[in-house]
Amino acid sequence: MVAGIDGYLYLFGADLSGVKLARTPDTPTSIADRNQYDYYNSASGGWQKQPLAKGNANGNILNWSTDFFGKKLGIFSGDIWFDPYHQTTMMVFMDSGVDGQFWFSYATNNNLAGPWTTPVSLWTPDVPAACKNQSTPWNYAGHAHPGWDASGKTLLLSYSSCTQYVSFAKLTWT
């Protein structure tokens, strides 16, 4: 979610085809009222009352999936924020694959509706050795924590591993 821009609360959702964008007036009553929501359709360039169907990439703000042994991977978790270091809106997300890879994209014109750059692999954390013999030996639930560095020069990432560990990594932009 992104709030405080223009009186709207913006919500991002993902499926196997990519990222979709919705908005509602930023008031306590409208957030719980789905009749107050508008959904962005990048194909038409406008807002509409009907959401895009799950799996319909035609109106996504970011089309993304990758095949992993013949299976499509979508976005598992992620975050969007204005980055002061790059002076644009950034998106960092973790894919739904067992590798737990982090990806990033940015809005080329600093508009939440895009256009967004093609996602680029940012980093793939190693699975902790203690997880190797577990029933869930993978990393998941990755998030960016841009507020840890007000300058935006570094980015703190967190992720979970095998339902037992939460790890952090600090990336420095060059």
User: Rounded mean pLDDT of the chain?
Assistant: 90
pTM for the model stands at 0.88
At 44, the pLDDT band (50, 70, 90 cuts) reads very high
- Return d(Cα 115, Cα 43) in angstroms, integer: 11
Cis peptide before 137 (omega within 30 of 0): no
Residues found in the chain: 174
Q: What per-residue confidence (pLDDT) applies to 111?
A: 92
Match 């979709």 to its residue by tokens. 20
Q: What per-residue confidence (pLDDT) applies to 135?
A: 82
Domain segments of the chain as ranges: 1-63, 64-172
- Of the candidates 57, 62, 80, 158, the one whose C-alpha atom is nearest the C-alpha of residue 119 is 62
- Quick check: 30 pLDDT over 90? yes
Top pLDDT among 171 and 74 is at: 171
Q: What per-residue confidence (pLDDT) applies to 5?
A: 81
pLDDT in tens, 55-112: 889 899 998 887 777 777 788 899 999 999 999 999 999 988 777 899 999 999 989 9
Q: What per-residue confidence (pLDDT) applies to 146?
A: 94
CB 148 within 8 A of CB 81: no
- Return d(Cα 128, Cα 164) in angstroms, integer: 10
pLDDT in tens, 111-121: 999 999 999 99
Q: What per-residue confidence (pLDDT) applies to 102?
A: 94
